[in-house]
Structure formats: structure tokens, C-alpha cells
Amino acid sequence: MGENVKYYFLLFFLFSSSFILAQSNELSFNNPCEAMVVCAFPQLVIGRNLASPEMQLVFAKARVENIILENGKVTDRTNLAELVLALFRRTEIGIVFGSNVPENATLLGYLIEITNNTESHFVLTGLNGVPLYNPCNANGEVVSSQEVYVYVRK
């Protein structure tokens, strides 16, 4: 993927990130911050946002498959993103968090973990580190950062 694709993703992120569900929306799930940010990446890539019932469906399936634990911890971010892509029936695209990055992947943004001394929250940022999606408008100090890549499956 070239520079034009990177600029497209940045412009699209800026436009569509404001339409992704906020954490305050009715979701039958405890501590959904990390899961919501992970699910935001495929939504932004595809250009379609999940409605609350669709998000609940993804979370329920992820809980059954132990991708999301009862306490809200995501055990496999890549597999959670894959559930969203499958819901959209977009199997030609892959999203990878952190490691095992395919050769044809393009850096999409970062999943940032922040803390406010009492609990952790997660934020999606673009390549420049500017927050593009913050499901609960949390502020705090950066604890960790993970690269997120998009690629076309061969």
C-alpha cells in the first residue's frame, strides 16, 4: 500500500471516528473500553460503523470464544478485529495488532493504553499520535502503545 492509501485512511479516520459508538452507549458488557477500541480499527478501515446490537453480537461471540474475558480484558486483539471483519463479510482484508505482521501490511495507527492512576483506558490514535477515537474520553499517562496494521490477504 502506498502513500495515497495512508492519506485516505487518515482522512477517513478523521471523518468516521466521530460516528463510532461511545462507551456510554448501552452495551451489555463490563469494562468495554479496550474491546471498543480494537473494534474501531476494522470499522474505520471498512467505512461502516457497528450499531449497538451488532457490537453486542461481536462481544457475545468474543466472550464465548474467550477473546474477551469476564473482566473486559481482550486476550487476542487480532482475533477480535477478525470478528468485526467477518460480520462485515470482508475476508479480503486483515488487521494485525503488534506482531506477526505480513510483508504487505501498512501501519494504520496505534492502540494506546493510558492510566489515570486508578484504572486503564484505551485510545485509538493515527500515525501522528493524535487521538482519533476515545470511547470514554479518558485522559491519563501513556502506559503502552501497540502498532496496528492493515493488509490485503493474498
pTM of the model: 0.83
User: What number of other Cβ atoms are within 10 A of residue 116's Cβ?
Assistant: 11
Q: Containing H/E element for 34?
A: helix 33-46
Residue 15 confidence (pLDDT) above 80: no
Buried b (16+ CB within 10 A) or exposed e, 72-111: bebeebbbbbbbbbebbeeeebbbbbeeebeeebbebbbb
So where are the chain's domains?
Answer: 3-152
Give every CB contact of residue 62 below 8 A, 6+ residues apart in sequence: 35, 68, 74, 79, 80, 83
pLDDT digits (tens, 9 = 90+) for 64-119: 999 999 888 899 999 999 999 999 999 999 999 998 899 999 999 999 999 977 88
Partner residues linked to 110 by β-bridges: 125, 147
Mean pLDDT of 6-20: 46
**Per-residue pLDDT, 30:** 64
Say what the pLDDT of residue 20 is. 54
Check pLDDT > 80 for residue 37: yes
More confident residue, 11 or 69: 69
**How far apart are the C-alpha atoms of 40 and 45, rounded to whole Å?**
9
